[in-house]
Amino acid sequence: MKVVVVGASHGGHEAAHEALTRCPDAQVTVYEAGNFVSFMSCGMELFLEDKVTDRDDVRNFKPADLEKFGGKVLTQHEVTGIDTDAKKVTVKNWATGEVLEDSYDKLILSSGVTPATIPVPGADLDNIYLMRGRDWATKIYDKLHDDAVSSVVVVGTGYIGIEAAEVFAKAGKKVTVIDLIDRPLGNYLDAELAEKVRVELEKNGVNLHLGHTVAAFEGDGTLAKVKDDAGQVFDADLAIVAAGVKPNTKYLQGTVDLDQRGWIKTDPYLRTSAKDVYAIGDAILPLFAPAGQPAPIALASTARREARYVIETMTMDKPARSFAGVNGSSALPVFDYNLATTGVNANNAAKMNLEIASSLYEATIRPEFVKEGNPEISVKLIFNPKTHAILGGQVLSKADVTAHANTIALAIKGKMTLEDLAEADFFFQPGYDRQWSVLNLAAQTALGQIPSV
């Protein structure tokens, strides 16, 4: 079986590895348009802060990791066209200019996304950077250590934007964050937790200019100022644009079905409209399991789960099961805070027209008699108001409580209710937690009970 994989990032790597190790007869070739395989953009903050073993180690794999199993990884090779009838791909070798063809029995598309730019005057000025991939990470690293850069404007309050803001604020730069949304991390956190993040960012010198968009970048060849939609102007030696992503699927137009925004359409088995062509990763809309609807979920963990599933089922005429979907679980440090989220929140529930209820539990992590190392914790639970099925959760604390989000994710997967979580059997040791776990207490609070701490 000849397998061609388009794209060598998280999903592409996982698909190739699974095919090579699960299918003894598989011949696997990975085509990657870039010159560095599998840079881990979710590790960019660690990369920028010199908290990694080596800058070239911030990756999922090296070509040799697949080649030792008999696979081939070809960098600077971009798939520019697909003939689904002849089962062939056209590939441009950017190192030599050569164009070649390759055949496949199974084709896996993992071409990912590209950062969205802002179509406003001055968008082509120097010193306007995107924050994705190794090339941009290297350029940003240089600016981070450039004394000529004193003022930085970050566009976007998602994970990437907040990471950029924190890194440059720690480096002593004057940082302003601009976004139309009215709270930081508003796509991930509900208002109560986002407010704590806002206070933490401002305490650490980050200026949040929210409820506004960028109207123009200004400068004579090089960025000097950023103007918002109300005419306010901010000094900027550098701008980091973290305003979302768009699917990298232009080359697929007319080959497989795409939706209006360019996302690859897949069936419940991650098959595209073309026979023996599958799609995984950030360019598809996987099943968002808690909502029962497809949604864009650009996470490495999601791509790898999809890839594993595809290799498991792609040789079956009728797979035994459809792709189970994902919860969109993620985590982030923000200065002294640690936060994690999974499943449905107020923001995505509104977009999906979901009927939800929610509850917030706040207390110290350990019994009150614990004198030191006993910070507060916030736990937000989202649930179905009729069935009490748990649909999502958010946790935030100055301690590392992020693993609680994994427990909530398992509760969603297991279709647990508030009643189940309220009585779930967790360990107790006062150096770690309370006799009722904070998740027990959060569920009891959601049920309207008065928790016995």
Q: Catalytic residue positions?
A: 10, 42
Contacts of 171 (CB under 8 A, 6+ apart): 144, 145
DSSP H helices, 88-158, are 133-144
Contact criterion met (CB below 8 Å) for 299 and 340 = no
Can you tell me the distance from the alpha carbon of 385 to that of 14, in angstroms, rounded to the nearest whole number? 38
Query: Which residue, 181, 236, 170, 245, is CA-closest to 208?
Result: 181
Can you tell me the distance from the alpha carbon of 336 to that of 66, in angstroms, rounded to the nearest whole number? 39
The helix or strand, by DSSP H or E, that contains position 361, with its residue range, turns out to be strand 357-364
User: For residue 167, with 0-12 CB atoms within 10 Å meaning exposed, 13-18 middle and 19 or more buried, which class applies?
Assistant: buried
Can you tell me the distance from the alpha carbon of 417 to that of 449, in angstroms, rounded to the nearest whole number? 15
User: For residue 47, with 0-12 CB atoms within 10 Å meaning exposed, 13-18 middle and 19 or more buried, which class applies?
Assistant: buried
Q: Which residues of 225-257 are buried (b: 16+ CB within 10 A; e: fewer)?
A: bbbbeeeeebebbbbbbbbbbbbbbebbeebbe
Can you tell me the distance from the alpha carbon of 5 to that of 253, in angstroms, rounded to the nearest whole number? 18
Contact criterion met (CB below 8 Å) for 115 and 131 = yes
DSSP H helices, 325-427, are 346-352, 403-413, 418-423
DSSP H helices, 353-436, are 403-413, 418-423
Q: In what order do the strands lie in the sheet with 77-83?
A: 77-83, 88-93, 99-103
3-class DSSP state of 78? strand
Contact criterion met (CB below 8 Å) for 424 and 390 = no
